[in-house]
Amino acid sequence: MSDLFENETAIVTGASRGIGSGIATKLAEHGASVVINYRSSDQRAMEVVEEIEADGGTAVAVQADVSEYGDVEAMVEATVERFGALDILVNNAGMTTIGPAAEVDIADWRRVIDIDLTGVFIGCQVAGCQMQEQADGGAIVNIASMMGQMGYHMRAPYCAAKAGVINLTRTLAVEWAADDISVNALAPGFIKTDITDQTQDSAGYTDDDIRGRTPMARFGTVEEMANCVSFLARDDTFVTGEVLQADGGWTSDAWRYHEGRV
């Protein structure tokens, strides 16, 4: 345990599994009281809470659909009622759909945009207003993706949503800088989680395909993403409106496939 975020409260959306779970656990390790947001799996959320508490941290689970304004508003109100304030918001909840752009069902498009972009805006708006009311600053970290800064086949809704998250982040950073609210984004590359395994199966690529196209020749880890968020959530960096690319060099690499790593 450290005291980096001692006496601070954080909400992490989509925190019952994967990267969200890792971020919540890391913030708790640094002393924050953490709200584990989940949409449907209360069992997984409670398991994360129990793990944090077993390590001496403080956490509660709160159900909310991030695409529903009333749900998010109620979650922030419950957080403030329980802990007294909201200092950090991590907009992590997201989803994707895989398929050719010409065949994307409009209902699938809307659901991805609702969760991955509108949900981020709702979270920022509600949390940002709460932080402004508290008049003590705050930090918002939006989980974007390297796919928000590049074209990627079979991911039209997801790429569009994450590109929106990136420019939304920059806009809010400019608007809220005077309130001492930092707004930054993390853009992960391929991170090894059970969700990644599911999307790989759907898209038909292998672990070796990813390693071969990543200059660091491996997947990123949940722990690494949690460390990145911990940096972006600090209040002593003079950083706002930035997109931290954590993709092992993928988007910087013009050569692309490193066959044989030559």
CA distances 180 to 86, 87, 124, 187, 239, Å, are 14, 11, 14, 23, 11
Read off the tokens for 130: 């709460």
Q: Which of 69, 152, 158, 257 is catalytic?
A: 158
Q: What angle do CA 90, 118, 27 make, to 5 degrees?
A: 5
How many residues are present in the chain?
262
For the CA atoms of 126, 37, 243, 84, the dihedral, rounded to the nearest 10 degrees, stands at 50
Is 257 a catalytic site residue?
A: no
What residue type is assigned to position 139 of the chain?
A
Nearest CA among 52, 130, 42, 38 for reference residue 89: 130
Question: Cα 24–85–223 angle (5° rounding)?
Answer: 15
Report the DSSP beta bridge partners of residue 89: 11, 140
Grouping H, G, I as helix, E, B as strand and the rest as coil, residue 139 is strand
Catalytic positions are 158
